[in-house]
Structure 1
Amino acid sequence: MLQRIHTPPQAGACSLNAVPEVFVDECKSDFVRVAVPSTGTHVVVRFGAHISGGFDIHALGPRHKVHRKLIRGGQSTVFARLPLGTYQAVLGRPASELAGRIVALRDLWDTAATQRLEEQLAAASDAGAAAKILKAAIAERLEPRTCFDANTRLALKAARGLESGNVASVAQDLGISERHLRRVFREVIGLSPKTLFKLIRFERALKAAKECADLGWSDIAVSAGYYDQAHLIADFRSIAAATPRRFLAEVCSQS
């Protein structure tokens, strides 16, 4: 069960939504988790007897496909979702290098910083304490001069525009070429504008289907921004490798 951990912002952190969201997931028994695609980048800490050394730490880049994975009973996981614009500052890599990848934190941070975090996590009393330790370690790496540059601000504006418009209209509204928009998106977000727009539609449709059981798929398709129901079905097959109805049942079974 996912639980959001609330901790106050750290001193010195970037001023524009730079504090990461942190969640804890504690698994009581083995099960296959269905992970909906994420447009963000996370730092993830897993605790469990089946993990060498008792825990591990990885960076998880943006994903554009549904991921299904067996989670072992007794595993606790801490997720820190990094705000857009802080990936380079926290991980030392642009989003384009992390997209679709799982990278050990020791391959991104220097040895001293990694060892210090590992020692703190090893001494944590529980997953909640570990979440606060991870959040503080991330905040230490955030400086105003390294976050939210011109490209990041442009990507943020474009991402908001894609919630209601397509790539061509957003680029036109911003006064830039589609080519420039695609380049900035790759660098800052790790996904193309087209892929992000596709995932936004997918998330809208899934949310509507979960909240309105009596709503037909054709109506959901129109409200989510698809051309028609066939377009929606094609996207679900592409992203989730399942029909909309089957994937909805799969997601709801884990609620």
Structure 2
Amino acid sequence: MPHAEELLRSIAEQASLEDRVRAFERYYLNHFNEALQINPLINYLTEKIISCHGTLNVNELSRETGYSTRYILKAFEKHVGLPPKLFSRIIRFQHVIQLLENNQYGQTLDHIYELGYFDQNHFIKDFKNFSLLTPKKYVQHIADRSY
């Protein structure tokens, strides 16, 4: 891929997933000189999931858009490459990471339900799936890095 180092550097410099996506879009437009065509429904769904920090489920998206859950599942996976549930989990995890990196560990644990988790065990299990660490160990790792 031409200018891959530039792309990787640009993405690595971004703080949020949304900014990383925007960095990729800028790279794509600069180097391929074509408008990035995004299905309007998929664009709406991804923006909605991102803006709600991954707490919406497919049934809610279906009610809001008027499309069936089956259609949303198939279209989303076709265009994004993964199911909306996994995309939502990734976005939710990204949001939790941002909270933890801003020294909001206590607040994060106090608001697990609002973050889309059923309970503390669900939160810890999902966190470990993505990071291979418990939230507490991750926070300790952050603290160790800052020294």
> Do the structures match in fold with TM over 0.5?
yes
Asked if 1:180 corresponds to 2:71, the answer is yes
| 2:32 equivalent to 1:23 | no
Normalised by the length of structure 2, the TM-score is: 0.69
Report which structure shows greater RCO (CA 8 Å, sep ≥6): 1
Amino acid at match of 2:46: A
C-alpha separation in 1, matches of 2:94 and 2:11: 22
**Alpha-carbon separation, structure 1, partners of 2:139 and 2:105:** 13
Aligned identity (percent) is: 20
Alignment: residue pair count: 134
3-state SS of 2:67 partner: coil
Distance in 1, matches of 2:18 and 2:101, equals 20
Q: Describe the SS at the equivalent of 1:249.
A: helix
RMSD (Å), alpha carbons: 3.6
2:137 corresponds, among 239, 246, 252, to: 246
Contact 2:93 2:127 in 1 (8 A): yes
Runs of 5+ unmatched residues, structure 1? 6-19, 26-37, 43-79, 87-134
TM-score (norm 1): 0.43
The AA in structure 1 aligned to 2:37 is: C
Gaps of 5+ in 2: 1-5
In the alignment, is residue 155 of structure 1 matched against residue 42 of structure 2?
yes
AA partner of residue 10 (structure 2): F
Task: Measure, in 2, the Cα distance between the counterparts of 1:147 and 1:153.
Answer: 9
Q: How does 1:23-42 map to 2 (within 5 A)?
A: 23=10
- Please report how far the alpha carbon of residue 235 of structure 1 lies from its aligned counterpart in structure 2 after TM superposition: 0.2
Which is greater in Rg? 1
Cα deviation for residue 159 of structure 1 reads 1.6
The answer to whether 1:222 aligns with 2:109 is no
Superimposed CA distance per residue, residues 1-50 of structure 1 (whole angstroms, 9 cap, x where no aligned partner): xxxx9xxxxxxxxxxxxxx896286xxxxxxxxxxxx69998xxxxxxxx
